[in-house]
Structure 1
Amino acid sequence: MPSSRRSSRRPYSEEYRPLDMDRATGGRRTEERRGEEWTVQSVRAGDKAYRCPGCNQEIAAGTPHVVAWANDSLFGAQAALADRRHWHSRCWGTP
């Protein structure tokens, strides 16, 4: 039997909202740092620990942080993406 309760996700009278790609991709953005353009993405948490290149301390599993990679690489975009690094948000400079 169908439920008599209406969905609270989007009321019938509300207009359709297109998908916000910035929010869907975790807030991926481009920043300039030391004369280079970097792609930076926020990560809510991960299943494994990483070493922050800013402070050389461990980013514990389950800790929110950022992932950054240079937009330009001598060996191409795929090599730049493969060289991405996980940073503490405070070490990267993100509040």
Structure 2
Amino acid sequence: MDRVESAPDGEWVVRNVSGATQGKAYRCPGCEQEITPGLPHVVSWPAWSGGEDERRHWHTACWRNRVNRGPGRSRY
């Protein structure tokens, strides 16, 4: 189920992914490390974009801590 989260970096549509399905690996924009297939994680995209074309897959902890990152932080 999708939800909208508001934070200092804007409003985001967020979806928890259980990792139950064997999919492909993704690169987390928060830590630049791989999210391996089967690992529960978060998918998010800007609420203002209106499209899932900007979806990014994040480690759950990286998503929660994204606003605490310093200069050079990822937009996603």
Q: Same fold (TM over 0.5)?
A: yes
Quick one: higher RCO (CA 8 Å, sep 6+), 1 or 2? 2
Gaps of 5+ in 2: 66-76
CA RMSD after TM alignment: 1.6
Percent of aligned positions with the same letter in both sequences? 49
Q: Which amino acid aligns with 2:63?
A: W
Q: Aligned residue for 2:68?
A: none
TM-score (norm 1): 0.61
> Structure 1 unaligned runs (5+)?
1-24
13, 35, 43: which one aligns with 1:39: 13
Structure with max Cα Rg: 1
Paired residues, what number? 63
Q: Does the alignment pair 1:87 with 2:58?
A: yes
Normalising by structure 2, we get a TM-score of 0.75
4+ aligned runs moved over 2 Å, structure 1: none
Q: Choose between structure 1 and 2: higher strand proportion.
A: 2
Amino acid corresponding to residue 87 of structure 1 in structure 2: W
1:53 counterpart SS class: coil
